[in-house]
Amino acid sequence: MKSPATLLPSAARPVPATGAAARAPAALLGCVFVLLWSTGYPAARIALDHGAPFTLLVLRFGGAGMIFALLAWMAGAAWPRGRAALHSALVGTLQLALQFGALYWAAAQGVNVGLIALVIGTMPMVVALLGLLLFREAVRPLQWLGFAVGFAGVALAVGEGIAPGHAGAGASLAVLLGLFAISAGTLYQKHHASEVDPRSGLALQNLAATVLLLPLAAHEGFRADGSAALFATLGWMIGVNSLSAFALFFVLLRRGAVNQVATLFFLMPPVTAVIDYLVLGDALTPYKVAGLACAALGVYLGTRPSDTAAPRTALSASPRAVDRVGRPDAVSTRRPFSAPAAAARRSCPAPCE
């Protein structure tokens, strides 16, 4: 299993640390992921003023897919084959094409962005319920408490911005479709598509989404005004959101339990409110500040490890373990592997203690 360090050249890979230093990367990755992902919301608000939703997504995912493919080619990374390739393509269909396509279209149709944030804020709870029903993934009482507190933080952060909109029932259903897509896509990636090389895996995800959204962009007439603001926001969404944030999301899902990774999404709306204040000049009210604190507490509770649980690795090898020579669709005949000792002492992607 690759760690985030394997994405760096060998000369730049950090020496394994112990104790608090060994736990720092997981906490740091979680914080950086939340910050980078949250910048996508104000960027999308700006971009939608300069282009049609599906056109923007085709440009974003197409650009990101080609860059990931180039990085994979330059590094000689193994590409998923057979069923593994289909798994990556399906993740791209759910997490990218369906989620962002539905949410961008809903926003363009007039659905209030605060309402979208509130609905998507339930994603950790939907992931937990789907994981419980489909994969028998246990959710501890403390995690449910964290989910409740985290969602309360989301409601505080976005509640003031929710206002009646002029969108129809179809646009509202699109928001629910986006919620299902990101929840199902997150679970599916964790169980079926997190062991491939991140560069080639993300290239397939983005290119699959591009192909699916291309007919819709053509129907829009590839409408974009070609302004400097359009290219600036597209560059940000490709470089920061698609390349950096999704690479971190990929690594976090590989390292930690899916419920713990999903819990980080409680922080997205409050952190976005702070970014909107700094970048767009939106008001930062006491409710939004309280929402940020409440969401942070929810993440803390939702990612705390069980005191009575036996130590376990961040990821356990399944019977169909990934072959270490780069063939994710092959059944490995080797002994199941576990995380290094330093990583095995911590499985959650955010501060837990």
Structure tokens at 7: 């994405």
Query: What's residue 136's pLDDT?
Result: 86
pLDDT tens-place values along the chain, 353 residues long: 444 444 433 333 333 333 333 343 677 888 999 999 999 988 998 999 999 999 999 999 999 999 999 999 999 999 999 999 999 999 999 999 999 999 999 989 888 777 888 888 889 999 999 998 888 888 888 889 999 999 999 988 888 777 666 667 888 899 999 999 999 999 999 999 988 999 999 999 999 999 999 999 999 999 999 999 999 999 999 999 999 999 999 999 988 778 888 999 999 989 988 998 888 888 888 988 999 999 999 998 888 776 654 444 333 444 444 444 444 444 444 444 344 444 333 333 343 44
Query: What's residue 137's pLDDT?
Result: 84
Structure tokens at 240: 């920061």
User: What whole-number distance in Å separates Cα of residue 288 and Cα of residue 40?
Assistant: 18
Q: Dihedral angle at the C-alpha atoms of 327, 180, 112, 148, nearest 10 degrees?
A: -100
User: What whole-number distance in Å separates Cα of residue 48 and Cα of residue 108?
Assistant: 7
CB 6 within 8 A of CB 13: yes
Query: What's residue 76's pLDDT?
Result: 95
DSSP states of 39-101: THHHHHHHHTTTB-HHHHHHHHHHHHHHHHHHHHHHHTPPPP-THHHHHHHHHIIIIIIIHHH
Angle, CA 199 vertex, CA 196 and CA 205 arms, to 5°: 75
Residue 98 CB contacts under 8 Å (≥ 6 apart), including other chains = 177, 178, 181, 185
Ordered by start, the domain boundaries in the chain are 23-305
Residue whose entry in the numeric block shows the structure tokens 């909107």: 276
Burial (CB count within 10 angstroms: exposed 0-12, middle 13-18, buried 19+), residue 285: middle
Query: What's residue 25's pLDDT?
Result: 67
User: What whole-number distance in Å separates Cα of residue 252 and Cα of residue 268?
Assistant: 16
Q: How far is CA 283 from CA 36, 109, 164, 286, in A?
A: 21, 24, 19, 10
Among residues 98, 56, 89, the alpha carbon closest in space to that of 183 is found at 98
